[in-house]
Amino acid sequence: MFTTITSYVNALLAIVANTLLIILILRKSPRSMGSYKYLMLIFSTFGIIFAIVDGTNQPMLHIYNGGVCYNWTIQFSALNCSCYGMILLLLVFHFLYRFLAVCKPHRLDLFSYPYFNILIVIFIVVSLEWWMAGVYAAGENVDVEKHFRETMLENFGLNRLDYTYASSLFYKPDPITGEVGPNMGPIEVLILPIITTQPFMDAIVPMYFIKDYRMVIVNFLRRKKTSGKIHTSSSQPDDRSANSRVFIMRT
C-alpha cells in the first residue's frame, strides 16, 4: 500500500513539474540556450509519459527474494521496462550535446531541424527494442511462477491465472536447500518510491539551476506573498483612524 500510494503521488508531482517546465522552456528560454531547449523539451515530455506509465501500472512492481515482477498485462509492463532504456538513451543525447557544445560547436546543427529527426528515429527504434526484450525475453516462465506464486497470493490475493507479468529473477534458489541468497527485507519497500521520484526530480533540477526559469517562479511566489499581505492588511480595521479625533487649530 505504501509503495502504491507513493507511486501515485510521485506520478502526480512529475506531471505537474514537467508541465510547468515545458511552459518555461517555450516561453522563458534565453536565446543563448539555442537548440538545447529542444533536448530539454524531449526530457520533459518523456518525464510526463514515464509518470503516466508508472501511475497507471499499479500495483506495478513486486520485489521478492532477488526477483522483480512487473504486474499488469505483459505488453504494458514491458512498456515500463522500456522507459528505463529511454532514460539511458536520453542521457546519451544529453552528453553528446554537451560534448559538441564544448569541443565541436560547429556540429551542433545535429540537434536542429531537420537533422534532429535522426535522433528521434534512433530513440523510437531503441525504445522498441527494449519493449520487445521485455515481452519476449522477460516474459512468463516456470521458474518465475514458482518463485512468485506464494508471495503474490499472500500480498495481493492473486492466483496464478489472475495476473500476467514481465519479470527478472536475479538469484535462483539453491538446488540443495531451496533457499534464495540475498533477501533484502524491509528495504524492498523503498526501492519503488525512490525509482518513481526520477521524473519529478528531472524537472526540478533545471528549474532551479537555470536562472531565467528560477526567477519566474521566485517572482510568481513573491507576488502571491505580497498580494496575500495586502489582502490581509486591507481587511483589518485601522484602529488609529477609528479612535482619532480631528482638531482644528486657529491662529
Strand arrangement of the beta sheet that strand 67-72 belongs to? 61-64, 67-72, 164-169
By C-alpha distance, which of 199, 207, 213, 204 is closest to 14?
199
Q: What is the DSSP letter of 172?
A: P
Pick one of 1.20.120, 1.10.3470, 1.20.1070, 3.40.50 as the CATH number of 2-243: 1.20.1070
pLDDT in tens, 47-90: 898 888 877 776 556 665 656 555 555 666 677 778 878 888 88
Q: What is the pLDDT of residue 151?
A: 73
Q: What is the pLDDT of residue 242?
A: 42
C-alpha–C-alpha distance, residues 71 and 78, integer Å:
10
pTM: 0.63
Q: Which residues contact 245 (CB under 8 A, 6 or more apart)?
A: none
C-alpha–C-alpha distance, residues 115 and 35, integer Å:
12
Q: Using an 8 Å Cβ cutoff, are 65 and 75 in contact?
A: no
